[in-house]
Copies of this chain bind each other. A is one copy, B any other.
């Protein structure tokens, strides 16, 4: 995955309602859900929802198909996998064993270097 795609995917997920939408679609499985059902579940106005679907779609995180008068949206797991791959690579860069393993073995955070002059702001 390229940086620009990663940024797009991150931006698409970096919004409360959209993250909810995406999570709901992930839960719903590969068959997806009709827009109306998502709207009902999350209590979002249909036009607002369209707006969010567009962004998720633009980032490649969901796909749509029509079924009768419903539009059915589904999560694209492949894109999320690529995003995770991108983040993992760019988080551990140069020093393997920092991210995925750490995530699995719940390693303690590396001891921070002591501040030399004043109290750290963090």
Contact = CB atoms under 8 A, between A and B. Distances in A.
Interface of A: 3, 6-7, 10-11, 13-16, 19, 22-23, 26-27, 29-32, 57, 63-68, 74-78, 80-81, 83-85, 87-88, 90-95, 98-100, 102-103, 109-110, 112-113, 115-118, 120-122
Contacts of A66: 115-118, 120-121
Given A64-B120, A66-B115, A110-B30, A7 B3 contact: no
A87 B90 contact: no
Given A66-B121, A80-B87, A85-B103, 6 more contacts: A3-B19, A26-B90, A27-B94, A66-B115, A78-B109, A81-B102
A115 to B, nearest CB: 4
Contacts of A29: 94-95
Number of copies: 2
A67 B27 contact: no
21 contacts: A3-B19, A7-B13, A7-B16, A11-B11, A11-B14, A27-B93, A30-B110, A57-B122, A65-B112, A65-B118, A65-B120, A65-B122, A66-B116, A66-B118, A67-B115, A76-B109, A78-B109, A80-B87, A80-B91, A84-B84, A100-B100
